[in-house]
Chains A and B, each alone.
Chain A
Amino acid sequence: MECTRQEMMAIATGREFSNGELAIFGVGLSMLAGYWAQKNHAPDLVAFTEGGVFGSSPVGGLPWGIEDTRISANATSFTNAIDALGCLVASGRVDNAVIGAAQIDKFGNVNTTGIWEEGTQPWKAGRYTLPKVRLNGSGGANEIACGAKKFILMVTHEKKRFADRVDYISSPGYLSGGDSRAKMGFVGGGPCCVVTTLGILRPDPVTKEFYLDAYYPFSSVEEIKENTGWDLKVSANVKMAPEPTAKELANLRAIDTTGSLRKG
């Protein structure tokens, strides 16, 4: 089936959700991926927002914000941030989640805070100077990264976004790899995969470095390696992710009513 790279990324992300999971999605594309999973193969997926909007799905188009009117029109409960991000997410109750990133690194650390001139990154310079470009900060992603049993990173695959080491860790992945995350004592398990516009990366169980697990019908191992900012290891069993079926794509387009995934 003909689909855009963004649609493939949303479907590949959604396939990582299982029926019956308790899940939290961010705003935008990750929300589409999550609600697609619910419609497509996981009808008993229970989702809520970080502000504590429970039991709802988007009405009248893709929500502009995670707590706006479009996500509040058919809710069964409104609570609050301490409840959603604290009692449910940071406590370790959530099974699965999606977070986006401006930049990620080979250990799945997430930067959504800023981009620095080379050499002035805080961890390199030993000083926290102003970034060249201020981004949006962590939002609720830090709680998700610390507390969710696992989470999916959803990122547009570009070399500048896939760094050997992120400029700033806004939300923790596997930190410096190996057992460094385990030593920190987070209640959550860390990122289970990175789903991109070109393929799917998964962490090595021991080193925690992300390797290429799958490419898409329209991408290749070479293209993915070229667009990754570290020397990406490739699984001996690297495979093509299944092409979206007609049913999968129809379900996605029924959710993406405004066609936001068809632009990319």
Chain B
Amino acid sequence: MRSKLITIQEAVQKYTWDGMTYAHGGALPVGTDSIAFGREMLKQDRKHLNVISNCNTQQTNLLAAAGRIKRIEIGFSGLEVYGFANGLKRAVETGVTVLEDYSNGSIPLRMLAGALNMPFIPANAGFGSDQEYCCGDRPDEYPCSSKLPWVKDPFSGKNVPVYTAVRPETASIHVTMADIYGNAIMLGTEWNRYELSRAAQKVVLQADFIVDTDCMRQFPNLVRIPDAVVDAVVYWPYGVWPQCSVGVYDSDEKAMKEMNAALKTVEGTEEYIKKFVNSYSTVQEWLDLLGKERIDLISNTVTKFLMDPYRRWIKSDAEVLQMLERR
């Protein structure tokens, strides 16, 4: 089998473009998300994005702050205990980004429908409230009857509301461990990543660790994303920073607050991009930017024991570089 390991620059170049429908996973505001991939999209100047998010994260907060998101479908637009997502909030309030509200349970259901190639799926929530009646795409239609249309259940004869399926053009998905073929193990909640990996037309994994395939053979039940649904694998350590990766690092409290404060204004956002987006290109430069002190601090997570069974299969930075060069 051929290796799917490529650089993050190559992955963004090949699998993203202006105006595309892009999804990211897990899309948890403090937990897992493919944030390094989003930084690279910004670096390569991707714009007019139509984004499918389960929740806002620092990735969408940053892309929205920089004016790159023209439309977003989302279940939750905040940053949990860190408060409002200032970048996305500003983009929505100024009309730069059209936001279509869903709920946290409805986004993965719509991904499941997309994964199964079904046109729609019955809604088990979301109806009878303004999530049904308010439509960002059709603001003049209130109460809106086309966002969650009601159809007749042919078996019971009752009317039921339905969600439309989603099939993003590309999904970037953060995973804890991947092998070079795209088999992946996720620690912590999967959130939407199982459905998303099947719903998206192209899937790029962003992994904290590249591991030997023997690791997958030892724990095949845990490989919820198999190589068959993956197009590319990218190695990017601490790639969820400043959010957390369960088993590997905690969220960086100070950096979470500083980033969100910066994204509040256009000037702050430009400054942030200069400092934390355009200032590195290699993994080593990225690690130098974060610095040893910060890395030691966030790596001292109460969850680090979760990685213990897998450590023997982890490839070193040098080995990953070699595998990339060997292509």
Which A residues are within 8 Å of any B CB, using their own CB? Answer: 27-28, 49-53, 59-60, 62-70, 72-73, 78-82, 85-86, 89-91, 109, 113, 122-123, 125-143, 145-147, 168-172, 175, 181, 184, 186-187
For the complex, is B135 an interface residue (Cβ under 8 Å from A)?
yes
Contact A137 B128 (CB under 8 A): no
Q: Is the interface of A mostly helix, strand, loop or mixed?
A: loop
Contact A65 B28 (CB under 8 A): yes
A136 to B144, CA, bound (A): 21
The listed residue (A53, A147, A181) touching B124 by CB distance below 8 A is: A147
Q: Mark B116-131, 1 if CB is under 8 A from A, else 0.
A: 0000000011111111
Interface residues of B in 281-311 (CB under 8 A from A): 301-303, 306
A156 to B312, CA, bound (A): 50
A89 to B128, CA, bound (A): 17
A113 to B194, CA, bound (A): 28
Shortest distance from the beta carbon of B257 to any chain A beta carbon, whole Å: 11
Contact B244 A142 (CB under 8 A): no
A67 to B55, CA, bound (A): 12
For the complex, is B195 an interface residue (Cβ under 8 Å from A)?
yes
Contact B188 A72 (CB under 8 A): yes
Residues of chain A within 8 A (CB-CB) of B31 are 51, 65, 67-68
Contact A81 B129 (CB under 8 A): no
The listed residue (B77, B89, B124, B190) touching A79 by CB distance below 8 A is: B190
Contact A64 B30 (CB under 8 A): yes
Residues of chain B within 8 A (CB-CB) of A132 are 93
With A113-B101, A128-B134 in contact, is A82–B244 under 8 Å at CB? no
Which 5 A/B pairs are nearest by Cβ-Cβ distance?
A65-B30, A136-B78, A85-B105, A51-B189, A139-B76
For the complex, is B140 an interface residue (Cβ under 8 Å from A)?
yes
With A68-B31, A69-B301 in contact, is A80–B129 under 8 Å at CB? no
A162 to B194, CA, bound (A): 40
Residues of chain B within 8 A (CB-CB) of A27 are 80-81
Shortest distance from the beta carbon of B190 to any chain A beta carbon, whole Å: 4
A68 to B93, CA, bound (A): 28
The stretch of B208-216, B246-254, B316-324 that contacts the partner chain: B246-254
With A113-B101, A113-B130 in contact, is A128–B139 under 8 Å at CB? yes
Residue of A nearest to B195 (CB): A82
The listed residue (A50, A67, A85, A137) touching B101 by CB distance below 8 A is: A137
The listed residue (A65, A72, A129, A145) touching B139 by CB distance below 8 A is: A129
The listed residue (B30, B95, B104, B128) touching A175 by CB distance below 8 A is: B128
Which B residues are within 8 Å of any A CB, using their own CB? Answer: 28-32, 54-55, 74-78, 80-82, 84, 89, 92-93, 95, 99, 101, 103-109, 112, 124-131, 133-136, 139-140, 142, 144, 187-195, 244, 246, 249-251, 253, 256, 301-303, 306
With A51-B189, A86-B124, A170-B131 in contact, is A140–B104 under 8 Å at CB? yes
A53 to B104, CA, bound (A): 15
Residue of A nearest to B81 (CB): A64
- Most chain B CB within 10 A, of A60, A113, A134, is at A134
Residues of chain B within 8 A (CB-CB) of A175 are 128
With A86-B124, A140-B103 in contact, is A65–B251 under 8 Å at CB? yes
Residues of chain A within 8 A (CB-CB) of B256 are 64
With A78-B190, A136-B76, A139-B103 in contact, is A67–B30 under 8 Å at CB? yes
Contact A134 B190 (CB under 8 A): no
With A81-B191, A143-B105, A175-B128 in contact, is A28–B81 under 8 Å at CB? yes
The listed residue (A70, A140, A169) touching B105 by CB distance below 8 A is: A140
Contact A133 B93 (CB under 8 A): yes
Contact A79 B189 (CB under 8 A): yes
Residue of B nearest to A139 (CB): B76
A81 to B190, CA, bound (A): 8
- Most chain B CB within 10 A, of A59, A82, A86, A175, is at A82
With A128-B142, A139-B104 in contact, is A80–B128 under 8 Å at CB? no
A162 to B96, CA, bound (A): 31
Residues of chain A within 8 A (CB-CB) of B134 are 122, 128, 168
With A53-B189, A68-B30 in contact, is A128–B135 under 8 Å at CB? yes
Shortest distance from the beta carbon of B245 to any chain A beta carbon, whole Å: 8
A165 to B190, CA, bound (A): 37
A105 to B108, CA, bound (A): 30
Contact B190 A60 (CB under 8 A): no
With A66-B80, A68-B244, A171-B129 in contact, is A52–B108 under 8 Å at CB? no
Shortest distance from the beta carbon of B280 to any chain A beta carbon, whole Å: 25
Shortest distance from the beta carbon of B28 to any chain A beta carbon, whole Å: 5
Contact B246 A69 (CB under 8 A): yes
Shortest distance from the beta carbon of A173 to any chain B beta carbon, whole Å: 10
A168 to B106, CA, bound (A): 18
Residues of chain A within 8 A (CB-CB) of B193 are 80
Contact B109 A86 (CB under 8 A): yes
Contact A82 B109 (CB under 8 A): yes
Residues of chain B within 8 A (CB-CB) of A53 are 188-189
Contact A67 B189 (CB under 8 A): yes
- Most chain A CB within 10 A, of B28, B131, B249, is at B131
Residue of A nearest to B192 (CB): A81
Residues of chain B within 8 A (CB-CB) of A52 are 189-191
